[in-house]
């Protein structure tokens, strides 16, 4: 059975994918900072490890342990990440840098750590979790969207670089999904000292996005798409896993930029 390393396995997509793979008999390495939140996975047979994807040594040690114990790695589910909602002007630069360190450089650290082994094997699948906002960007999610645009860009390049070496690169694009993501993202927004000028926009954003998260799907469909990508002989390059993730980029392509802006802003009134 394949050996799979999952980052961000203490909650949301990562945890559900870990559960599903364990039930199918895969060898699962579940990584996150909150190891206490993965005790249930350990009881089901997962190898649980502490990993902070912003820490080079922590990433090297985690991947090193997988290779020492299994001598191979078949799948990296590069999933750890979070969003910080807020206007471009108001999110402090330190927070933006932290977001890049997790969402962009964190993924890069894992990719660089697993590739020597996957190249040697001449096989492997790297699954990077992007977002619908890797394809579009809207007010109040701009910095987060920019990290996911970066994920899309490096994934496209990596796919071309490693395909001849037998390694697949897959991008997962969920839209709004009920995990712990929205609590974290709104948590940043709540902590910001917003300039007065943005308050009406942000209040409209809260109503619109809060409403969306109140009725959005759970992680099941996205987790199933990840499993599908892992088990496919020839996986798709992108899996848009929710209705909004399938539709919004198409709508954007049909409209001019100015019309798209108007449509989005009309929802945030
Ligand atoms: N839910 C959505 O609406 C949605 C939509 C599009 C894309 N996404 C993306 O999907 C991915 C998973 O999010 P989710 O929805 O499952 O959210 P979640 O329930 O909040 O889970 C996020 C996971 O990331 C881990 N993580 C965060 N910072 C980390 C760090 N520095 N080092 C290691 N692990 C870290 C967390 O673990 P610890 O805190 O224990 O380390 C947690 O396991 C993210 O990349 C997110 O951007 C989510």
Q: Where are the beta strands (DSSP E) in the chain?
A: 3-7, 27-32, 47-50, 75-78, 124-129, 167-173, 238-240
Report the atom number in ligand 1 closest to the C-alpha of 178.
1
Report the atom number in ligand 1 closest to the C-alpha of 9.
43
Geometric angle at alpha carbon 78, from 223 and 161, rounded to 5°:
120
Q: Model confidence over 77-103: pLDDT tens digits?
A: 999 999 999 999 999 999 999 999 999
Where does ligand 1 bind, in terms of residues with CB under 6 Å? 7-14, 32-34, 37, 51-54, 79-83, 102, 129, 131, 174, 176-177, 179-181, 184
Structural domains in the chain plus CATH codes: 3-267 (3.40.50.720)
Report the atom number in ligand 1 closest to the C-alpha of 10.
43
Q: Across the chain, what does the average pLDDT equal?
A: 98
Is there a contact between 68 and 49 (Cβ–Cβ < 8 Å)?
Answer: no
pLDDT cut 90: percent of the chain above it: 99
238 CA → ligand 1 middle, Å = 19
Q: Model confidence over 126-182: pLDDT tens digits?
A: 999 999 999 999 999 999 999 999 999 999 999 999 999 999 999 999 999 999 999
**What does each C-alpha distance from 93 to 89, 97, 194, 226 come to in angstroms?**
9, 6, 14, 33
Q: What is the rounded distance in angstroms from the CA atom of residue 235 to the CA atom of residue 228? A: 8
Q: Model confidence over 16-60: pLDDT tens digits?
A: 999 999 999 999 999 999 999 999 999 999 999 999 999 999 999
Task: Mark whether 148 is an active-site residue.
Answer: yes
Can you read off the two tokens belonging to residue 36?
């206490």
User: What is the rounded average pLDDT of the residues 217-246?
Assistant: 98
66 CA → ligand 1 middle, Å = 21
> In the 8-state DSSP scheme, what is residue 133?
G
Task: Mark whether 144 is an active-site residue.
Answer: yes
Geometric angle at alpha carbon 213, from 173 and 17, rounded to 5°:
45
């Amino acid at each position: 059975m394949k050996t799979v390393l999952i980052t961000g396995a203490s909650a949301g997509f990562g945890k559900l994918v870990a559960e599903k793979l364990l039930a199918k008999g895969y060898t699962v390495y579940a990584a996150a900072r909150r190891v206490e939140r993965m005790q249930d996975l350990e009881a089901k047979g997962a190898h649980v490890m502490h990993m902070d994807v912003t820490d080079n040594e922590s990433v090297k040690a985690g991947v090193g342990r997988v290779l020492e114990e299994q001598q191979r790695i078949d799948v990296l589910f590069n999933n750890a990440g979070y969003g910080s909602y807020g206007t471009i002007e108001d999110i402090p630069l330190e927070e933006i840098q932290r977001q890049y360190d997790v969402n962009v450089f964190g993924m890069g650290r894992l990719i660089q750590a697993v590739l020597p082994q996957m190249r040697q094997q001449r096989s492997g699948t790297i699954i990077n979790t992007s977002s619908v906002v890797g394809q579009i960007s809207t007010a109040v999610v701009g910095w987060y969207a920019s990290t996911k645009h970066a994920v899309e860009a490096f994934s496209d390049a990596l796919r071309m670089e490693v395909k001849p070496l037998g390694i697949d690169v897959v991008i997962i694009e969920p839209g709004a999904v009920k995990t712990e993501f929205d609590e974290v993202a709104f948590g940043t927004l709540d902590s910001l000292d917003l300039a007065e000028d943005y308050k009406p926009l942000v209040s409209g954003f809260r109503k619109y996005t809060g409403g969306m998260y109140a009725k959005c799907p759970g992680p099941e469909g996205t987790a199933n798409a990840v499993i599908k990508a892992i088990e496919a002989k020839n996986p798709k390059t992108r899996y848009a896993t929710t209705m909004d993730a399938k539709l919004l980029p198409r709508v954007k392509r049909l409209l001019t930029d100015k019309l798209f802006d108007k449509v989005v802003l009309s929802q945030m009134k």
